[in-house]
Amino acid sequence: MPDSHSHPDPRVIPKVFISHSHNDRNYALKLNAVLRDRGADTFFDQDDIRIGDKLTDRIIRGIESCDVFLLLWSLTASRSGYVASEWQAALGRRMKVIPYKLDDTPLPAKLKDIVHLDRQDRTRANAGLLRTVFWPGRLPLRPHEIFPGLWRVGMEANGIASASYELELRPNGQVTGSGRFDDAGLLAEIMAHEGLGNLHNRNVKIIGQWSHDYTTDSLTIELNSNVSSPTNRNVVTVQMSGYESGAIQGQDGAGQFWSFERLEDEHEKVKKSLQSFLDDMRDKSARNDPQFAVMPLVFQAMCLGKAEALGLTEAQVKALAVVRDDKIDVNPLIEFLQEKGLVA
C-alpha cells in the first residue's frame, strides 16, 4: 500500500475508495462513472458490498485494497458516523486522501491542511480530480466523456472576423463537420461600404483531429478545410476557462475567443432522461422510499413513449416488463436496455 509520500508506479491502475453520505449518493454515482470511464478502479458501496457482507469488515477491506481515498464532504457527511470512521481509517493507513467539498461545511481539523477540491471543479470537467488520481505520467485511459458528440462552435477574432462550425468530435479523435467564416466589426462595415460585403464570407467542409490535455485543461482541434487549394490546415489549442451544462469557453494562443455548445440528438436526450430516472428509482428503492412503488410503472411508460427514439418496439417494451402479483417487474427491461448500451 503506497503512503501519501510515495511515488506510485505509473503503470499501475489507481484504485479509489469513494466515501460519501447516503444523501450525496447521486453525486457520488457521477464521480464513480467519471473515474471508471477513465480506467480507474473504484470501491463504491453500491457495486462492491453484497447482501450477507459484514458491513464494517467489508468497508475496512475496501479501504485497504485502495491507494486513493476520495472523501465527498458535505453537511450530511459531517454528521455521518460511517463517513467519519472511513476517513479516519484512511488517515490511519496513510492513504492519499482527496477531500471533495460539496458545500461550505468546514473540513475536520485533521483534514484542513490537505489541499481539497470542491464542486466548482466540475466546471473544468473534474480536471483537478483526474490530475490528482492519475498522477503525472499516468493519464486517464479514455477520451473525456464531455467531448465526443455534436457541437456548435463559435470563434471571434478580435472583432474583425468570426467563424461558426457544426462539428462532430468522435471518440476515436476524428473531427467532421462544416463551418462558415465571416467578416465582423469594423472590417465588415468597410467591406460592405466598398460593395464587397460577401467577399470573405464562405462555407467550408471540415475534417480533422481533436485531443484533450488533462494537465493543462486545453482542447486541441486540427481543422482541415477546403477554403482554398491546397486544403487549409489550422491547428487551434483552446485554453478552457469553464465547462458547465454542455458549454465550453476558452481562448487560443492568438487571442481568439472560442465557445462550444453541445448539440444532442433525440436519441441521446432520451438516454439521459432514462438514466436519470433509473438512478433516482434505484436510490428510492435502496431507501425504501414509498414513492418507489409507482416508479417501475412510470419507467415502463417512459420506455413505451420513447420506444422509437430508442430503436425499440412497443411490443418489446411490454414483453420485458413482467406483471406479477399486481406488481410490475421492470428488471428484465432494464437488463435489456443495459445490453443495448441505453442505460448503465
45, 55 Cβ separation under 8 angstroms: no
Cα 244 from Cα 126, distance rounded (Å): 11
* CA angle (322 as vertex; 319, 324 as ends), nearest 5: 150
Higher-scoring residue by pLDDT: 48, 324:
324
Which CATH superfamily hosts domain 15-133? Answer: Toll/interleukin-1 receptor homology (TIR) domain (3.40.50.10140)
Q: Is the pLDDT of residue 71 over 90?
A: yes
SS3 5: coil
As a whole-number percent, the residues of the chain with pLDDT over 90 amount to 11
| 40-70 pLDDT tens trace | 888 886 444 444 444 567 788 888 889 899 9
* Cβ atoms of residues 90 and 63 within 8 Å: yes
- pLDDT, the chain, mean: 76
Using an 8 Å Cβ cutoff, are 155 and 260 in contact? no
Lowest mean pLDDT among 26-30, 164-168, 238-242, 336-340: 238-242
Report CA-CA distances (Å) from 339 to 144, 193, 268, 274. 23, 61, 16, 15
Q: Which CATH number fits domain 149-263: 2.40.50, 3.40.30, 2.40.128, 1.10.10?
A: 2.40.128
The pTM is what?
A: 0.45
The answer to whether the beta carbons of residues 148 and 262 sit under 8 Å apart is no
What's the pLDDT band for 200 if we cut at 50, 70, 90? very low
Q: Decide if pLDDT at 191 tops 50.
A: no
pLDDT of 341 reads 74
Asked whether the CA dihedral 7, 9, 14, 16 is positive or negative, the reply is negative
CA angle 216, 118, 153 (to 5 degrees): 45
Please give the Cα distance from 94 to 89 (Å, whole number).
9
Which 3-state string (H, E, C) describes 120-139? HHHHHCCHHHHHHHCCCCCC
